[in-house]
């Protein structure tokens, strides 16, 4: 079977190691968090050796860090894709959806220049980044936008078609617009049998609510992928209960080693070691076929050129740690190669 990349169909067995939740460009300034008053001077201006340590602790309190677009970022991303390929990477799923301003031309350039497969998602991010016209769209209108992206091509470049739906954003409590989006996604997933990726609001109840709305609209939970479980479902018993629903369980914040989570300080962001432990829990309970991994890079400070871990972190640093913790290579290959391909190769348009 084949999957749809930004340059056309690629055989699923040729995808290789796949990162299922990344960004090359997006506009994230809406999510600026006011810094602690005593640290504000350390969080001003561009990223430097002098302030990058503070920015790692308070990434959403530096305006330049949230400007994840422009030539400097484009060049850094392109350079990193060569590193990703050299490290053994094969495919990137670009999850920048409507409301975050996806850069289709950069995605094409990356694939043309580096040979890395780039698969673009469609859908809408959270209500907070949408304009009033979009917020007032009906379920049918939302459905039609995604259908066009998947079958006819993006408005910005009709030669580029989306290869999956996602990331589809939710807040908590959930906005009416977001509920309509999930309903439209459920209807479209049922019609096309395509892969879907959800961004849950920052509360442990949100993943369940998303899947309830999605399935009631006709969506197949087995083709759904719940992103950001690292910071959403933190208790082992809850994680195992959620995994029983059949959704893919995605741990996509690898590389973030700061426990302070600015968007919800009630949540302690896990370390990479803790992420591996949670993955092992799922493996030991027979769910290795439903695990996905990624970094969700969406700020400058996580790029190599700005002092970050980059898109090759999982390959170069995490996979060796997984092996040292007793996870067999065949299981790691299943998680990083086979699971993404199985989830993706399902569109029947």
116-161 pLDDT per residue, tens: 999 999 999 999 999 999 999 999 999 999 999 999 999 989 999 9
Q: Where would I find the H helices in the chain?
A: 52-57, 63-66, 71-86, 104-114, 132-135, 139-151, 176-192, 206-216, 229-232, 236-243, 272-284, 313, 319-324, 329-333, 339-344
Phi then psi dihedrals of residue 186, to 5 deg: -60, -45
Average pLDDT over residues 39-56: 96
Residues at the annotated binding site for a divalent metal cation? 21, 23, 167, 199, 228, 296
Binding residues: 21, 23, 167, 199, 228, 296
Domain covering 2-28+68-344 in this structure, CATH number: 3.20.20.140
Copy the structure tokens of residue 184.
């439209």
Is residue 110 over pLDDT 80?
yes
Percent pLDDT > 70 in the chain is 99
DSSP letters along 74-141, please? HHHHHHHHHHHHHTTEEEEEE---BTS---HHHHHHHHHHH--EEEEEESB--GGGS-HHHHT--HHH
32-50 b/e (C-beta count within 10 Å ≥ 16 → b): eeebeeeeeebbeeebeee
> Model confidence over 310-335: pLDDT tens digits?
999 999 999 999 999 999 999 999 99
Please report the pLDDT score of residue 69 as a whole number. Answer: 97
Q: What is the mean pLDDT of residues 194-204?
A: 98
What pLDDT, in 10s, does the model give residues 207-245?
Answer: 999 999 999 999 999 999 999 999 999 999 999 999 999
- Is residue 82 predicted with pLDDT exceeding 90? yes
pLDDT interval class at 346 (50, 70, 90): low
């Amino acid at each position: 079977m084949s999957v749809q990349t930004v340059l056309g169909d690629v055989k699923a067995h040729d995808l290789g190691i796949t990162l299922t939740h990344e960004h090359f460009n997006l506009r994230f300034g809406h999510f600026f968090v006011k810094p602690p008053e005593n640290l504000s001077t350390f969080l001003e201006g561009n990223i430097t050796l002098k302030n990058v340590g503070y920015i790692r602790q308070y990434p959403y309190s530096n305006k330049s860090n949230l400007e994840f677009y422009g030539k400097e970022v484009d060049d850094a991303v392109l350079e990193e894709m060569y590193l990703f390929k050299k490290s053994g990477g094969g495919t990137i799923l670009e999850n920048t959806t409507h409301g975050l301003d996806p850069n289709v031309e950069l995605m094409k350039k990356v694939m043309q220049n580096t040979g890395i497969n780039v698969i673009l998602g469609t859908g809408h991010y959270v209500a907070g980044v949408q304009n009033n016209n979009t917020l007032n769209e009906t379920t049918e209108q939302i459905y039609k936008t995604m259908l066009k992206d998947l079958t006819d091509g993006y408005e910005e470049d009709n030669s580029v078609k989306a290869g999956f739906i996602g990331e589809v954003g939710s807040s908590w409590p959930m906005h009416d617009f977001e509920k309509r989006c999930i309903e439209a996604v459920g209807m479209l997933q049922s019609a096309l049998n395509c892969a879907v990726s959800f961004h849950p609001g920052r509360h442990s109840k949100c993943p369940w609510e998303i899947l309830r709305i999605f399935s009631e609209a006709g969506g197949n939970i087995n083709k759904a992928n719940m992103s950001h479980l690292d910071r959403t479902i933190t208790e082992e018993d809850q994680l195992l209960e959620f995994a029983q629903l059949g959704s893919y369980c995605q741990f996509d914040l690898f590389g973030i080693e700061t426990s302070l989570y600015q968007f919800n300080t009630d949540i302690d962001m896990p370390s990479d070691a803790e992420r591996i432990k949670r993955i092992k829990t799922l493996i030991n309970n027979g769910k290795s076929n439903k695990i996905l991994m990624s970094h969700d890079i969406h700020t400058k400070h996580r790029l190599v050129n700005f002092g970050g871990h980059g898109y090759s972190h999982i390959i170069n640093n995490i996979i060796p740690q997984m092996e040292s913790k007793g996870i067999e290579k065949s299981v790691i290959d299943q998680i990083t190669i086979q699971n993404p391909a199985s989830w993706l190769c399902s569109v029947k348009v």
